[in-house]
Amino acid sequence: MSLIPRSARHSDRPDYDEILEEIRREIHPHLSRGHVDDRIPALADLRPDGFGLALRTVDGALHQTGDAVEEFSIQSISKVFSLTLALQLEGDALWDRVGRAPSSSPFNSLAQLEHDRGIPQNPFVNAGAIILVDTILGHRGDGSDAILEFARSVTGNDNIRYNPKVTRSELEHSHRNAALAHLLRDFGNLHSEVDTVLEAYSRYCSLEMSCADLTQAVQYLAQGGLNPLTGDVVLTASLTKRTNALLLTSGVYGAAGDFAYRVGLPAKSGIAGGIVAIMPGMWCAAVWSPRLNRTSNSYAGTLALERLTTVTGTSVF
Ligand code: GLN
């Protein structure tokens, strides 16, 4: 008898439908844990006990359970697409303006940016993502729908849209992001006007997608940088590897260490409760559950991904 659990042997493909369904049942009692974000009032429209989970293998097979086709604003998951575009447009010069260190403060910390003299710790904290948006605007111009175009091209879904109510709500309550942008500008690390960059940043965060869409959207990160729908190079293999490294070290902010221990995958979270996770060469998963833990990551979503990698015996380690 093999000592390796059946599900961990790569030769026989796990029954993902059954595994996802089992995880949904296991997670159900935990759906009341945590709190829906209240910094963006429009997020109060989310169903607090919603839960969706999807997994798409590199050969394109989609497995899903719960509310996996329900759309939500992807919030900071959009920073994965912003980073990809900024790297395409700017290459290594991007790293003159933003660091690659793990986050040691909350994702919207002003004190950290002041301490680091206007160089955000990494591209996934808000100040870092504001630099990404500034880079995109610098190359593509104001009012550019670069992210929308990108999301549609990697998903093949032309129905993907921004949620204007979420954009507006976020903009009306963007004092902290405005403060970060002003501080960046004061340090000479922001080229666009603050209002222009904030508008684009808020729009990007309001992009609405489902878990099923997201597993397709980040598929290039599991496939060496290729868009599996078109065969186009989205990122070089080297930049794909490096993007996954950044997702592992800072994709879930201050929780990165705990998340690496429990889940063991590159991942990116958003405050509407979505998380994407990448198992390079095998699959991408996306989970959504709006109640957040103390590190602003989905409570049940983190738990579900922990179960997924445990039950399937897969992780990057
Ligand atoms: N729109 C949110 C903000 O800027 C995104 C934060 C997140 O999803 N972590 O605060």
Range scoring the smallest mean pLDDT among 100-104, 139-143, 199-203:
139-143
Please tell me the predicted confidence (pLDDT) of residue 216: 98
CA 201 / ligand 1 centre spacing (Å): 9
Average pLDDT, the chain: 94
Residue 119 CA to residue 133 CA, distance in Å, equals 15
What is the Cβ-side half-sphere exposure of residue 61, based on CA atoms within 13 angstroms?
9
Ligand 1 proximity of 270 Cβ (cutoff 6 Å): yes
Q: How confident is the model at residue 12 (pLDDT cuts 50, 70, 90)?
A: confident
Query: Does the pLDDT at position 270 exceed 50?
Result: yes
Q: How confident is the model at residue 142 (pLDDT cuts 50, 70, 90)?
A: low
Q: How confident is the model at residue 104 (pLDDT cuts 50, 70, 90)?
A: confident
Task: Give pLDDT tens digits for 113-124.
Answer: 999 999 999 999
Ligand 1 proximity of 126 Cβ (cutoff 6 Å): yes
Residue of 81, 108, 131, 198 best suited for mutating to test ligand 1, as the one with most atoms within 8 Å of CB: 108
Please tell me the predicted confidence (pLDDT) of residue 4: 46
Query: Does the pLDDT at position 9 exceed 90?
Result: no
Atom of ligand 1 nearest to the CA of 75: 8
Residue whose C-alpha is closest to residue 208's, from 78, 107, 80: 78
Ligand 1 atom 2, closest CA: 75
Ligand 1 proximity of 75 Cβ (cutoff 6 Å): yes
Ligand 1 proximity of 205 Cβ (cutoff 6 Å): yes
Rounded to the nearest 10°, the torsion over CA 105, 262, 20, 27 is -70
CA 132 / ligand 1 centre spacing (Å): 14
Ligand 1 proximity of 170 Cβ (cutoff 6 Å): yes
Residue of 79, 125, 126 best suited for mutating to test ligand 1, as the one with most atoms within 8 Å of CB: 126
Mean pLDDT to the nearest integer, 291-309: 97
Assign domain 6-312 to its CATH architecture: 3-Layer(aba) Sandwich (3.40)
Domain boundaries defined on the chain: 6-312
Query: Does the pLDDT at position 65 exceed 50?
Result: yes
Ligand 1 proximity of 296 Cβ (cutoff 6 Å): yes
Residue 124 CA to residue 158 CA, distance in Å, equals 26
Residue 164 burial by CB count (10 A; 0-12/13-18/19+): exposed, middle or buried? exposed
Q: How confident is the model at residue 19 (pLDDT cuts 50, 70, 90)?
A: very high
Residue 171 CA to residue 201 CA, distance in Å, equals 9
Helices 164-172 and 194-205, axial angle in degrees (round to 10): 140
pTM for the whole structure = 0.95
CA 126 / ligand 1 centre spacing (Å): 7
CA 109 / ligand 1 centre spacing (Å): 12
Residues for the chain: how many in total?
Answer: 317
Ligand 1 proximity of 76 Cβ (cutoff 6 Å): yes
Mean pLDDT to the nearest integer, 241-268: 97
Atom of ligand 1 nearest to the CA of 107: 9
Ligand 1 proximity of 108 Cβ (cutoff 6 Å): yes
Query: Does the pLDDT at position 2 exceed 50?
Result: no
Residue 166 CA to residue 168 CA, distance in Å, equals 5
CA 215 / ligand 1 centre spacing (Å): 20
Residue with tokens 């159900």: 28
Ligand 1 proximity of 271 Cβ (cutoff 6 Å): yes
Ligand 1 proximity of 107 Cβ (cutoff 6 Å): yes
